[in-house]
Structure 1
C-alpha cells in the first residue's frame, strides 16, 4: 500500500469525503478555515482526508477523518491516523484529542491507537445537529471526548 499524505488548503478540502465523518457541511465549513486539512492519496486517487485544529500551544483536535467507502477496510484510515499522530508528536504536541459517538467502530478505532476516554459531552449530537444522527440504527446522543497524551518516550 503506497500512500501519499499532504496538506491542502481548506478550499481544496474534499468535502464529499469529510461529509462521511460529519453530516453537516455548515459545521465542517465552520471549523475548516481555522484548521489544517490533510489528504491521503493512492496513486492519483484521493482515498482519505482529515482535519485537525489547534486547541492551544501544544494541544490539537482531530475534527474529522474519513476514508472513501470504496477504500475502507484497506488500512488507509489506520495509516492516515498513525501519520497524523506522528506528525503532531514531531511538531511538539503534548496531546491529540478527538470527539466521537459513544459506540461503534470509530470508538474502537481510536482506542486501538492509544486514545482514552477523558470526558462525555452529554446530548452533543441532539444539541448541535438539526437532524438526528443514527449509527447502526441507534440514535447518537452523547459525544465521548478521547485524548492521546504524548510522552517523552514516544507514546
Structure 2
C-alpha cells in the first residue's frame, strides 16, 4: 500500500466521514488530499495548514471493508509525519461526540482532547446518529509534533 497526494478527491469515501458535501468542498480547496492505494483507493485524509505551525486533519476515512486493519492509524501517522516535515508543531483533529471508535483511535495515536464545540453538527440537514447517540458536538483534539 502507498499513500500519495492527489487532486482527484474520492468524494464517496470523504462522505463516509462527513455527510456534508458542501463542507467537504470547502476544506478540500484549502488543503492537500492524500489517498491510500492498494490496487484501489482504500483510505483518504485531508491535511489543511492553518498557520506556519498549526495544521488540521479535516477528514479521514477508510473503506468499510478495510477497517480494523490499522489503516486509520497509518493514515494519521502519515499526516503527522508530513506536518512535521512542513515545520508544523501542532496538529488538530475534530470528530463528533458520537464517534466513539474515532475518539479512541485518535487518543491511541497521541492526540489529547483540547476542546468541545457545542452544537457544531446541529446545522447539518439531517441528524447524525452513531451507536444510538445523536451527534451534536465536535470534540477537538490536538497533537504536539516533536
Q: TM-score, normalised by structure 1?
A: 0.90
SS in 1 for 2:59: strand
Match of 1:24 in 2: 20
Give 1:109's match in structure 2, choosing from 102, 105, 123. 105
How do 1:67-106 residues align onto structure 2 when only pairs under 5 Å count?
67-103=62-98, 104-106=100-102
CA distance in 2, matches of 1:52, 1:150: 14
Q: Distance in 1 between matches of 2:52 and 2:85?
A: 14
Structure 1 Cα separation of the partners of residues 113 and 105 of structure 2: 13
List, as ranges, runs of 4+ consecutive aligned residues in structure 1 with deviation greater than 3 Å: none
How do residues 3-152 of structure 1 correspond to structure 2 at under 5 angstroms? 3-9=1-7, 12-42=8-38, 44-103=39-98, 104-127=100-123, 129-151=124-146
Superposition RMSD in Å = 1.0
Determine helix, strand or coil for the equivalent of 2:87. Answer: coil
Separation (CA, whole Å) in 1 of partners of 2:63 and 2:136: 25
* Contiguous gaps of at least 5 residues in structure 1: none
1:102 to partner: Cα distance:
2.1
SS at match of 2:84: helix
The answer on whether the counterparts of 2:80 and 2:145 sit within 8 Å (CA) in structure 1 is no
DSSP-derived class of the 1:18 partner: helix
